[in-house]
Each structure stands twice: as structure tokens, then as C-alpha cells.
Structure 1
Amino acid sequence: MLFELVILFVILFIFLGYPISKAWDSFQSKEENSSSILKFEPQEILSLGLSYFIFGLGIMWNANDVRAGIPLHKFEKNGMMSDQYASLAHDHITIVVLLVILGGVSYWKLTTGLIKLSPIFYIFYSTLMIVNIVYTFIYITHTGFAFYTELGGLRYIPVFCIQVGMLAFSLLFLAKLRNTLDYFIQSQNEKDYTQSNRIILLLYRISFGYQKMATVWMISLFPVLLIVQFILILFGQKPDSFIRVFMETSSFNYSKIPAPSPQIVSGDGHYLCTVSVKGHKNIVKPLRAGIRHGERITVNRQLLIANAFENVIEERVPKCHKVIRNFYDKYGYPISKHINTKWSADFVYILMKPLEWFFLFVLYTVDKNPENRIHIQYSELRK
């Protein structure tokens, strides 16, 4: 359990460490250097890129998850689910992708072109980033955190990726909004306008009051949402896609479509077995049929080598084998749920290649007849 928490902390630190620090610093009572507001810092570009990268992975995997209302599949051997529901409705996910892209464009404009921005575009870009922050809050409350444990491992990897990505760039957006607000007030003070118009004076007092600025942004939210909706209608989206992207899902907090009982399927979700079956044959190179728990499976050399390595570990260091087996059971099954296309199976196969070579090196080091041991895996010859 401690190891899993350490791994989770490291991942969260990589993606959220800088955004949290940036957001925290933006609210400290110190004068921000205007030059740092008007340009990208290297670590800022890296952090923003990482947040969009992990968000994009989550969206791609979400597209392969099961639509709402369709039965999931449960393995007969161990009761594990072989798939999971999409956290965002497939038919309306364009709204989320569009908002995130527009949020990134707004962040870029408020960083590189703030001096040249007209008041209307300043409010427009600021509001788009606020919409992203609000959507992040809605998504996190929609999905929650219960999925983080299933046999000690992540159950919904796409949800985790989307949550971390959205939270990361939302923190950066929040820091940018605060910094640009400070820059705006500082520039107004430097101009030292003399105003006789009471309304304008009132507006300046409002702008100098931090608590009131959020209200101005929220008032501007409505026309921006209308503009986005007009764009979506042109591309075939429905006007209520903002809401339906969450409600037309199953098993989540805002879901309105009941989840039917899962269907029982044979097997137990061994993810290397999944690779040998689902990958392109010219890449994963299936060799023959094998027998696993009394059922016929397709095996390739990578699977045979991995099982032979496990067999050696089980014979010589059983305590170590137990630890490795528990780790595999915790993380292998959740991973197997996302190997649902030929390309994802190919990717896992290539990713496992260095481990395959390591396993083979160990086998040739400790076993007198390593190829014999490899050959009898998943066959009736193995005792």
C-alpha cells in the first residue's frame, strides 16, 4: 500500500507540482514583475504541455470506454470487470475538447498579447478560462475519487488522466487570471486618470476590489456560452451539450442513464494474453494455441518468456514471486481494460519489449535449458 501511495504521489507531483506552486504564488501579497506576466517561462510551457498531454490521453481512452446503458463485462474467474463506462458522453464530448482548446488559446493570448488586448477580448479570454475552471470542478465532482482503488490499483485510468490534466491547467489558468488582474490594476494606477463621471469612478472602484472582479467575469459568462453554443450548433452539437456530456453517462455522480447488470464472460483478464490476441499479427506475432486455467488462449513468444520467468521466480524465490504476483494482479487487470484496439495492444507489446529481453537474459543465466522451459509454458507438458 505504501509503494502505491508513493507512486501516486510522484505522478501527482510531476503534473500538479508546478501548477499548485504557480497558483499559490499568484495569491501571495507581493508585487508581480510585469515582464514575467507577459512571457512564458520554460517550466510554465512544460507544465502546460504535460497537462494537455495527459488530458488528451484520457480523452482518447474515454472514447474507447463503454457507452451509457450498455452492459459491462465481468470475468467469470475472478469477478473483475473487463471494461468500464465512459465518464463523458461520446456524443457530446466535443464541447469539453473545444472548451479546453479555447482555454489554452486564451491563456496564450493573455500571456503574449496582454498589452495589445482590447477590453472586450480581455474579458472574453478571461471568461473562457473561468469556464474551464468551472468545468474542472464539475468533472471532478461528477467522477469523484472512489475509482482510485480496485485491488489497490487505479480502476478508471482515463478518469484519472482527465482529472489530473484538467486540474493542472485550471490551476495555471487561475494563476494567470490573478496575475493579469494585478497587471490591469497596476496599469490603471500608472495612468492616473482623472474622471468626473461617477459611473466610471464606480467601475474603477469595483475593478480595484478583488472580491468584485469575479462577479464581472460571471456576468460575462452568459454571452460567451452563447457564442460557444452557436459554434457547436454549426458543428452538429445540441444546445444542451454542456449538461448532457455529464448526464448521458452511467455509474457516475451526475449520470442519469441506469447501468444494467454486467454480463459474465470467460477468462480472467490477463493483459499479456489480451495483447497476443488483439494486436496486429505481424507485430505481436502469435505462435500457437495454449491452455490457461483449462481454457484455450493464443500465445506469443513474449507471453511464453514472461510466464517462464515467473515460473523461475516461483521456484527459486517464492516470497519475491508472491510480491510480484500481487503487484501484477493489482495493476495488470486495470491495464487490460484499456487494451481494446489493435494499436493499443501493439503499443503494450512494444512497451514490454525491454522487460522481455531482461526476462530472457535471466532465463539464459539461471536455467540450463531455457528454451525448453519457454516452450512448455501454457501447454500440458508443464507440470
Structure 2
Amino acid sequence: MEIITIIFLLSLPVLGCVIYKQARKGVATPVKTLEYVFILGFTLSFLLFCCGLMIYAADYYTAIDIVDGGYSPFASKHLLSLITFFVLAVFGLWKLWLKGRAMPPLWFVLMLVFVLTGIPISIAVFVQISHSTESYDGWLFGFLPFAYILTAVAVICKCVVEELAVANDKVYRNKVLNYLNQKMAKTAHQPFYVLILLIPVFVVIVALLILFGQEADSMSKVFTETTTWRFSTKTHPPFLDHQGHYLCTVAVCGDPKVVKPLRLGIRHGHEIIVNRQLLIANAFEELIQENLPAAHRAIRACYDKYGYPLSKKITSQQGSNLVYRLMKPLEYFFLLCLYLCVTKPEEKIAGQYVL
């Protein structure tokens, strides 16, 4: 996903230069100014979208730290389908803006289909990022679909107005065709007629794409095979919390037969999996914090400095199993201290990370 985002960012200045040069060719000043506003808004919204993809880049099956970003609203496995439709939609906008009705009829209709395809996809993107179970900045993704829909409606209306000027002068021998032509030429709702008439074309294009090997449900899976967003259907591994016991938290992500997870717990508002080792470590830290607060601050500062970077390097199940085994002597030491200093040590241990 990061590579695709970088390619888009590198190609954006080139695309901007091409559009700028085309815009200078024989366009009146008021129209040109308005079009520059659209180009600027679209470009800024695209950059925000790319920033969002870089911040929230993890797939649902990846264990992440809550301070390192978040889960992507789009499944990377199916992201290419979404990008393809986006590129075709923007290409259609560009051609319709530059050429309009000057294009051959078949090419004109194809560009309209591309543009109209982008509208429901933009709506789906907007709905997807409208809600998240985590405190994610979904607004980073929201400007691009809004800018696309606004631009698409403006371009389509422009093409319809151009077609009206030609349609008013057309006369068909067939009475039915002539009536329909005059009716559509005089009504004030041409954009709606265009949308309705192009829906069958859209359906045919989708059917042809399926025949050429595209997955029929790829455009739905790009939204559903995610976690924490509106259309998400997947769950994610426990968060690796930078404010907790880094090594013990990593150890819980090992083989269940080895690390023996007990239950779910809550840490800093996030659901995590806990085992006895993690419970004992947290109970011991709580004991130190209650009786030796100055020592606790010094130990915590040292652990934050070295424990967190070390925990981030452990990403495999085998590594987590190894950490669990290496932490065993410390676990027994923590347990001994608890039994020496606490009247009811097991109650203190069981009370950690309660839901």
C-alpha cells in the first residue's frame, strides 16, 4: 500500500503540469479561474487521502501499537480494484473537461460511464470512513470522495448544457424520437436523464469486466475485509500498547498452547488478551507504584526507553514464545514479591485489566 501511495504522490506534479497547460489553451478567464479552484481542491483532497493511507496502513490481521497509526479502511488485497476505478473515473473527468462533446460519440459515452462509476464508489468510501470504533481521523479520507462527486456533477452538467445547444436544432424523421429529443432538450432535469440512461451502460461494463477475470465481489471486499470501520467484518489482534508491559504484551501474542491466554481485558480503553504472566507483571508494577512512587517513575522511564523499541522488533509467533519463556524467571520473582507484601495477592492479580 505504501508503494502505491508513493507512486501516486510522485505522479501528481506531472499530472498537475499537464492539466495546467491544457487549461491555458483558449479558455475564458472566469471559467479558467473556477476550474483552477476545482483542480486545487481536488489536489489537496487527494494529498489528504494519501496521508490517511500512510497513517492508517495496517490490515486487519496485523498487530499494531495504538500510537503507530491504525487500521486501513481499505483491504490492501483488493485495493488495486479501487485504484483502477479511481484512475478511470479521474481520466474520464479529465477528458470530458477538455473535450466535452467534441469527442466521438462512443468515446464520450465511455468517459461518462467512467465518471458515473466513480460516484457510487465515492459514496461507499465516504460511508466507510464516516464511522470507526477507534479514535481515527476519518476526515482525512472524506474530502476526496466529496471533491470527486462535486467535480463529476459539475462536468456532467457542463456536457449536458453543451448537448442542449445541439439537441434544440436536431429534427428526427421518426415522430417518437423527435418527441423524446424535444422533450429532453426543453426540460430542466437533463442531468437526471443522463444518469438514468447511462445506468444500463454501467451494468454492461461491469458484466464485461467479470468476463475478463475480475472478481465480482472485489469492490465490496475492499471495504468489508477491514477492521474498525463502518463496513468492516473482521477483528484485529490485540493492540501492542506502548503504555503497558511491552514484553509481556508481546508474549501474549505467542502460541496459545505456550502462553496460555486467560481472558480479554481492557487497557487504556482498548481490548487486549491477557495471560497470567501479564496479570502478575501489572500487579507487581501497581505494588511498586503504590509503595515506592519515585522508584516506579525511574523504572518506568528506563523501561519506556528500552522495552518499547525491543518489543517492536518481535513480530513472529516464535519470537513471542521465546519472550514468554525468557520472562518466566521475572514472573516468579514478581509473584514472590506479591506474596510477601500483599495480604490477598491472588485477588490483586485477578483484578488487573478487568472489563
TM range (shorter): 0.5 to 0.7
Report what 1:118 is aligned to. Answer: 104
Q: What is the Cα deviation at residue 249 of structure 1?
A: 0.9
> Larger deviation: 86-95 or 119-128?
119-128
1:1-40 pair list within 5 angstroms: none
Report what 2:149 is aligned to. Answer: 170
Report what 2:59 is aligned to. Answer: 67
Highest RCO, 1 vs 2 (Cα 8 Å, sep ≥ 6):
1
Does the 8 Å CA contact 2:49/2:144 hold for their aligned counterparts? yes
In structure 2, what is the Cα distance between the partners aligned to 1:176 and 1:120?
18
Which runs of no fewer than 5 residues in structure 1 stay unpaired? 1-32, 75-80, 270-290, 300-339, 341-383
Decide whether aligned partners of structure 1 residues 228 and 49 sit closer, same or farther in structure 2, where only a CA change above 3 A counts: farther
1:258-297 pair list within 5 angstroms: 258-266=235-243, 293-296=300-303
Q: Which amino acid aligns with 1:66?
A: A
In structure 1, what is the Cα distance between the partners aligned to 2:151 and 2:299?
49
Report what 2:279 is aligned to. Answer: none
Decide whether aligned partners of structure 1 residues 181 and 124 sit closer, same or farther in structure 2, where only a CA change above 3 A counts: same
Decide whether aligned partners of structure 1 residues 61 and 100 sit closer, same or farther in structure 2, where only a CA change above 3 A counts: farther
State the number of aligned residues. Answer: 228
In structure 2, what is the Cα distance between the partners aligned to 1:124 and 1:40?
26
In structure 1, what is the Cα distance between the partners aligned to 2:157 and 2:28?
13
Q: What is the Cα deviation at residue 92 of structure 1?
A: 0.5
**Does structure 1 residue 213 correspond to structure 2 residue 194?**
yes
Deviation string for 1:118-146 (max 9, x for gaps)? 22222221221222121111112222145
So what's the TM-score if we normalise by structure 2? 0.54
In structure 2, what is the Cα distance between the partners aligned to 1:229 and 1:35?
44
**Does structure 1 residue 87 correspond to structure 2 residue 66?**
no
In structure 2, what is the Cα distance between the partners aligned to 1:200 and 1:34?
36
Which runs of no fewer than 5 residues in structure 2 stay unpaired? 1-26, 247-297, 307-311, 313-355
In structure 2, what is the Cα distance between the partners aligned to 1:217 and 1:294?
63
Deviation string for 1:271-314 (max 9, x for gaps)? xxxxxxxxxxxxxxxxxxxx784334559xxxxxxxxxxxxxxx
Decide whether aligned partners of structure 1 residues 145 and 186 sit closer, same or farther in structure 2, where only a CA change above 3 A counts: farther
**Does structure 1 residue 253 correspond to structure 2 residue 230?**
yes
So what's the TM-score if we normalise by structure 1? 0.50
SS in 1 for 2:109: helix
Decide whether aligned partners of structure 1 residues 228 and 185 sit closer, same or farther in structure 2, where only a CA change above 3 A counts: farther
In structure 1, what is the Cα distance between the partners aligned to 2:159 and 2:211?
28
Does the 8 Å CA contact 1:73/1:263 hold for their aligned counterparts? yes
Report what 1:6 is aligned to. Answer: none
Decide whether aligned partners of structure 1 residues 145 and 47 sit closer, same or farther in structure 2, where only a CA change above 3 A counts: same
Report what 1:51 is aligned to. Answer: 45
Q: Which amino acid aligns with 1:55?
A: F
